[in-house]
Amino acid sequence: MKKNGQPQNTNRTPGMMTLIAIAMMLVSLLVMFILCLVPGRSANSRNPVLLVYGDDSNFPVLSMENSMHAIGFDVETADESYVFDEERNYIIMGVGEYAFNYVDAYKEQPEVKGFVLVCPGMPASEIMEGMSGTYPSREIAIFAGKDDASKVSDMGSARVIYERISGDDTVYGTPITRGGKFSSKVYINNIQTRYLSLSFAKIKDADKFLFSPLFQNELAGYLSTTYQDLTIRDASFSRINAWYVWALISFFTCLVGMCLYLAALPLIMSDMKQETIHKGEKLSAALIGGISIALAIGTIATTFVEKFRTYASCALCLMPLIFMVIMTFNKSRFILDNKVRYIKKQTRPMRPLFISLTVVLLVFLSLRLFTDLQLVMDLPAMVIAPCIFILDLMCSSALLYADRKSRYMGQGGSSYFGNRVIFLLMLIPSVFAMIFGLVFRLTDIFYAGFAGLTSTLVPFVSLIPLRRHTDHSLIPGIVHAVIYTAVVFAML
């Protein structure tokens, strides 16, 4: 049957393809939820503890817990105020520039049985004085990025530290390599108390190194071999690999299922965007463009001031929200104008609600599995989360309504959700920061740009299916606010 020349689907019974798609999404989300629970199931008070010091950024809680529990270890993060349990054994893992300082601080602690250093910086000479392959008596392992220097003067800190505490020569020594293309180069001293692993990739940021599945697998292999007498269970490397494999399979299966489900639904509206700037949007476009260019220039300036660089990620992650506030103020008169009455199309509520719930769960569970949702900022999370959520909800709902109303009046797409030019202007500072950081090898600037790009793209892209299958503004606004808040917590 046709109405106004357009075919209408009057069959309310879902087809076989739709049912298959729904089953794929539900099963995938269930698997992802189970994977979030699995890592914490093997904790045991008799397990030795991998105690992580020096990590003041996001930490891969779930994946690291799964990897450590698979070999019979527990994992905890700590600071200098941590109180050791006399009944347990500890392996200290120092992360970052001052990692070796923890060797000096805890080398006589009886509960500490060994040390792991991740991308350590060169310590002061007095700290390393007297240290060798036999002192301290605990094993010391060092993990760092690629270092192929053929001269001692060009070697990185990790290799220099290893040579000084082991007496080995890494320039003329022959490393051990295991695996294929992504194998690390490993040096072990003769009495097997010192261990150095250099990754296949040049990695300087220790915090990001911890998220690598390859690093976690190699770390698990080292700990399970070196401290086998401390554990109460056999190592299971298949569990480590299976966790990552199932996480990726379930994520992509859910995406495929969602595509199949959406393909069978009739569109409420097209996603055609406006290619030019409306007269009423020129002010907000000029402000967004000016701020974007200023941020791009400011990215260069931050490289000269270390304190400013620490706030680059925060600024770029929150910039999309600032842009949305600007656009909302600019469109407020249009939104509140009652001269033209905007009439929503009548749609069944179950479909947009199902799409909303699926999209939110997919994004949230993915972030939970592969990132850390603990906010690392001076402000309390309980304060900043409601502020971000409420402000984003108000702005995204208002801008969605403005876009719907603009299309209804025949003016085309409007503002953030309907004007491609404005959206591309929002990407300028993050893309520039990524390119600038990559070219000049400034990893913190590169990751700041990546965080900003993710905070801009993920909420926008996640909302596309819902915007095309519902004519309402509040439900998509809630979805956008939830996803944006979760992404900000994952990136910061």
**Residues 141-176: pLDDT tens digits?**
999 998 888 888 789 999 999 999 998 989 888 888
Q: What count of other Cβ atoms lies within 10 Å of the Cβ of residue 121?
A: 16
Q: What does the pLDDT read at residue 150?
A: 81
Cβ atoms of 69 and 38 closer than 8 Å: no
Q: pLDDT for 392-430, tens place per residue?
A: 999 999 999 888 888 777 777 778 888 888 888 899 999
Q: What does the pLDDT read at residue 343?
A: 66
d(CA 450, CA 430): 7
What integer best gives the mean pLDDT of the chain? 87
Residue 10 in 3-state DSSP?
Answer: coil
Would you say the pTM of this structure is higher than 0.85? yes
Q: What does the pLDDT read at residue 36?
A: 94
Q: pLDDT for 298-331, tens place per residue?
A: 777 776 666 677 788 888 999 999 999 999 998 8
As a whole-number percent, the residues of the chain with pLDDT over 90 amount to: 51
Q: What angle do CA 450, 454, 460 make, to 5 degrees?
A: 150
Q: pLDDT for 37-90, tens place per residue?
A: 988 777 788 899 999 998 777 889 999 999 999 999 999 999 888 999 999 999
d(CA 340, CA 82): 64
Q: How confident is the model at residue 337 (pLDDT cuts 50, 70, 90)?
A: confident
Mean pLDDT, residues 457-478 taken together: 89
Residue 185 phi, psi (nearest 5): -95, 125
Looking up tokens 């992802």 gives 32
Contacts of 314 (CB under 8 A, 6+ apart): 377, 492
Q: What does the pLDDT read at residue 269?
A: 62
Query: Above 50 in pLDDT, residue 194?
Result: yes
Give the pair of three-digit tokens for residue 375: 């906010």
Q: pLDDT for 277-289, tens place per residue?
A: 666 677 777 888 8
Q: Where are the beta strands (DSSP E) in 362-489?
A: none
Query: Above 60 in pLDDT, residue 4?
Result: no
Q: What does the pLDDT read at residue 1?
A: 39
Q: What does the pLDDT read at residue 271?
A: 53
d(CA 354, CA 361): 11
* Long-range contacts of residues 456-462, Cβ cutoff 8 Å, at least 24 apart: 456/319, 456/320, 456/426, 456/427, 456/430, 457/427, 458/363, 458/483, 458/487, 459/320, 459/483, 459/484, 459/487, 460/416, 460/417, 460/423, 462/359, 462/363
As a whole-number percent, the residues of the chain with pLDDT over 70 amount to: 90
Q: From 456, 454, 488, 458, select the one nearest 376 (Cα to Cα).
A: 488
d(CA 335, CA 341): 11
Q: What does the pLDDT read at residue 363?
A: 96
Q: What count of other Cβ atoms lies within 10 Å of the Cβ of residue 380?
A: 9
Look at 155-164, 306-315, 367-376, 463-472 and tell me which has the smallest mean pLDDT.
306-315
Q: What does the pLDDT read at residue 278?
A: 66
Query: Above 60 in pLDDT, residue 215?
Result: yes
Residue 224 in 3-state DSSP?
Answer: helix
Q: What does the pLDDT read at residue 5?
A: 37
- Bridge partners for 50 per DSSP: 75, 91
Query: Above 90 in pLDDT, residue 374?
Result: no
Cβ atoms of 118 and 144 closer than 8 Å: yes
Give the pair of three-digit tokens for residue 398: 């208002």
Amino acid at 258: M
> Any idea what DSSP says for residue 184?
P
Structure-model confidence comparison of residues 245 and 439, the more confident one: 245
Q: How confident is the model at residue 275 (pLDDT cuts 50, 70, 90)?
A: low
d(CA 123, CA 486): 37
End-to-end CA separation in angstroms for the chain: 52
d(CA 104, CA 121): 14
Q: What does the pLDDT read at residue 179?
A: 61
